[in-house]
Amino acid sequence: MADVFVSYKAEDRRRVQPLVQALQAEGLSVWWDEHIGVGDAWRETIERQLNEARTVVVVWSKRSVGPEGGFVREEATRAQKRGVYVPVLIDAVMPPLGFGESQATSLKNWHGNRSDPHYRAFLDAIQRICGCVPMASAQAPHSPLLTRRTAIAGGAAATVVIAGAGGWALLRNAGTGSSSDSIAVLPFENLSGDPAQAYFFQRHRRGNP
């Protein structure tokens, strides 16, 4: 099942190709009649793809709205009935009668720029209808974010814990020595931004005050 079925007039193939390539670059699977294999029953293949596609992009041009665009209009009718119809204009034309209720995006004189706001609106319409998230825009599963601020805070906390543990070991060992006052001054990297906290002081007194 394709994400996008492209309906267009065969004579417009060269003009439609950049649109197909742009959608594929977004990570969407696109079916158009270039995919019909040798020996395929083309009518049955087109009908199956048309009926299964999540969205149907109908390209309205001077040719497809003209007398020879009956096949495109039939595909557009089926897409409308399924509620998957996405119209786009590549010429300054009006969609045929019965197909103008849905807002058509104009990509006249568009040459493949995927940042163009008209193209982005067109892509949004496809995503909204088919529920597709292009792989190029897909995000990895969320994981806890490690920001610079949390890293700094975490580093400072870890330093204090380590310093505290070391200080307690020094003070405990001091208990086996003389009874004089002992002071452990433990330097650590000050990450708090407060110069007054440049050192961690731990004072231990034994004996009489």
In degrees rounded to 5, what are phi and psi of residue 6? -105, 120
Q: What is the pTM of this model?
A: 0.63
Q: For residue 59, which amino acid is it?
A: V
What is the structure's pLDDT at 16?
96
16 close to 60: Cβ distance less than 8 angstroms: no
Per-block mean pLDDT, blocks of 10 residues, the chain (209 long): 95 95 96 74 89 97 95 96 96 93 92 95 95 56 39 43 43 47 54 57 45
What is the structure's pLDDT at 196?
60
Reported as type and span, the H/E element at residue 5 is strand 4-7
- Sketch the domain layout of the chain as residue ranges: 4-130, 148-204
Between CA 181 and CA 192, with CA 187 as vertex, the angle to 5 degrees is 125
What is the structure's pLDDT at 91?
97
Rg (CA), the chain: 34
30-31 and 55-60 strand pairing:
unpaired
What is the structure's pLDDT at 43?
86
User: Which CATH architecture describes the domain 4-130?
Assistant: 3-Layer(aba) Sandwich (3.40)
